[in-house]
Amino acid sequence: MNDLTDLYQSVILDHNRRPRNRGKLPTANRVAHGDNPSCGDQCSVFLRLEGDRIADISFDGAGCAISQASASLMTTQLKGKTAAEAQALYDQFHHIVTTGEPPEEINDIAAFAGVHSFPARIKCATLGWHAALNALKNDPTEATTETHKD
C-alpha cells in the first residue's frame, strides 16, 4: 500500500510540475470561474461543449499546489466525457477526498485521497471541479467554495 501512496503522491507532484491543458481555450463556448477565498485559490475552466460531450477543456488559475494539481488532473479526466459522466466522476472524486476511500477502479483521482485528513484542503481539491460543473450547467454565477458544503 505504501508503494501505491508514493505513486499517487507522484501524480500530484507531476501535475504541479507539468500542468495539463493549462491556459485559455480559444475555441471554448463555456467558461466558469471558481474562487476559494479560504486559501486564495483561483481557477477558471474553459469548455468546448459539442452536444452533450466535452470536446475540449482547459483551466487557468493560481493558488496552492493541491488546487492547481487537482484542476490539471480534472481536465484530463473530463475531456471526452458527457455532462452526466462528468457529474458521476465528480461524485466519485468528492467521495475520495471526503472519506479517503479509494475508488473501486484504480484511477489517478485516488491520488487525492490523502486530502481527507486535511478538511480545509478539500475546498482546494474540489475548486476546479466545481468550476467545470458550473461551466457545464452554463451557470454564470461564480463558483465559490463558500456556497458549497465543501
- DSSP code for 32: E
* Nearer residue to Zn ion within complex by CB, 21 or 67: 67
Residue 67 interacting with Zn ion (CB under 5 A)? yes
Identified binder of Zn ion from the candidate list 8, 15, 34, 41, rule CB under 5 A = 41
Residue 16 interacting with Zn ion (CB under 5 A)? no
Contacts of 25 (CB under 8 A, 6+ apart): 46, 47, 48, 56, 57, 58
Smallest separation (angstroms) from Zn ion to the CB of 125:
8
* Nearer residue to Zn ion within complex by CB, 16 or 82: 16
| 81: region left, alpha or beta (phi > 0 left; psi from -120 to 50 alpha) | beta
Give the type of residue at 135: A
Smallest separation (angstroms) from Zn ion to the CB of 44:
15
Residue 124 interacting with Zn ion (CB under 5 A)? yes
* Nearer residue to Zn ion within complex by CB, 35 or 56: 35
Residue owning grid cell 466545481: 130
